Structure 1
Amino acid sequence: MAVLGLKKLNAKLKRLPAAAEAAIRTAMEQSANEIVALMKSLVPVDKGDLRESIGWTWGSKPKYSQAIASVTSASGNLTLTIHVGNSKVRYAHLVEFGTAPHLNGGQFAGTQHPGTKAEPFFFVSWRALRKRAKSRITRAITKSAKQVAASGG
C-alpha cells in the first residue's frame, strides 16, 4: 500500500529544521536588540562607560563581562548571551543592586562608606521583555512551519 504524497511530505519535513532555525535566529536577534536598548535607556549615566558596555553576542559572554541572560535554542545550535561590562567596567552589579554601608579598607581604611542605592537596569529589562521574546520566537517557529507546509514539494 502506497501513501499518496509521502515523498513531498518527507521533503518538506527535511526543510523544516533549517527554516525554523533561521526564523528563530532572527527572532532572537530582534529580542536581544530590544532588551539591550531598554537596558541602555534605564542605566544611570556618569561618563557612559557602563551604558556602552551593554550588549549581546552569539555564544558565551566576552571576557570580563557579566552575563545577564543566556538563551539556548532547543537544538542547542543557537546560544545568545546578553552581557554588561568589559575590562574597564566591572561594577555593573554594584549599580544594579547597590551597596550596603561599610568600613573602607585600603587607602581610606577605617572610614565609613555610606553605601549606594540600587539603580536596577538589567534584570528589570530582562523580566519586562522575556515573555515578548519567547512569544516572538514561538510565532517565528509557527510561521516558518506554515511557510514550509505551503511551499511546493
Structure 2
Amino acid sequence: MSITRQSSDAIAKRLAAIPREIIAKVQPAIRRSVEEVAADAAALAEASRSTGSLVESIEATGPNEATPAYASEGGQRTAHDLQGFVTAGNRDARHGHLVEFGTAPRIRRDGSTTGTMPATPFLLPAWRLNRTRVQRRINSAVNKAIREASQ
C-alpha cells in the first residue's frame, strides 16, 4: 500500500481524534516494543562487529522523544504520541546502512575496484521478529484503555 497525501491526512485526522487518556495508556506499550526491537537489532548486528561502535549506537526513541543527533534528521525529528523509532549510528558509527544493505564494487579513478561487503541485515530482521508481538501488545493496550475509558 502506498501512502498518498490524502491517506496520510486521513490517518492524521483519525489519530488526532483519539482521546489523550487512551494515548497515555498505550505509550508504555509502544516504548517497550521499540526497546525490544532495538535490543534485537543490537543482537543481530553482533554478526558484523569489528569495533562494536555500530552495536553500541543502536537506540530506541519512544513517543514524544527526539531522535539522536546522528540519526537521519537527528535531533530534528520527534516521534509522534503513538510512534517510536529505532536508529543506528553516532559520531563513531556512520556505516549502519552499509552493514544493513551491503556494498557493491566501485571503480576508483585509477581504474582499480574496491571490495564488496555482503549485506548483514539487522534492523529489518529485528522488526520482522517482533512485528506480531508488537501488534498484539499495542492492540491489547488499546483495547484495555478503551474498556477502562468506557466504564
Contact 1:65 1:87 in 2 (8 A): no
Residue 47 of structure 1 is matched in structure 2 by 51
Residue 89 of structure 2 is matched in structure 1 by 85
Distance in 1, Cα, partners of 2:72 & 2:40? 17
TM-score, length of structure 2 as denominator length? 0.72
1:65 correspondence with 2:74: no
Spell out, residue by residue over 1:71-102, the C-alpha distance to the aligned partner (whole angstroms, 9 max, x if none).
x6xxx534322111012211101011111122
Q: Superposition pairs for residues 99-138 of structure 1, below 5 Å?
A: 99-104=103-108, 109-138=110-139
Opposite residue 124 of structure 2, the aligned amino acid is: F
Contact 1:60 1:80 in 2 (8 A): no
Going by fraction, where is strand more abundant, 1 or 2? Answer: 1
Structure with greater Cα Rg: 1
Aligned pairs, number: 127
Which residues of structure 1 form unaligned runs of 5+?
Answer: 1-15
Which residues of structure 2 form unaligned runs of 5+?
Answer: 1-17
Residue 96 of structure 1 is matched in structure 2 by 100
TM-score, length of structure 1 as denominator length? 0.71
Check 1:81–1:134 CA distance in 2 against 1; reply closer, same or farther (3 A cut).
Answer: same
What root-mean-square deviation, in Å, do the aligned CA atoms of Structure 1 and Structure 2 show? Answer: 2.5
Opposite residue 116 of structure 2, the aligned amino acid is: G
> Higher relative contact order at CA 8 Å, sep ≥6: structure 1 or structure 2?
1
Opposite residue 20 of structure 1, the aligned amino acid is: I
The CA deviation at 1:126 is: 1.4
Distance in 1, Cα, partners of 2:32 & 2:104? 37
Distance in 2, Cα, partners of 1:85 & 1:104? 26
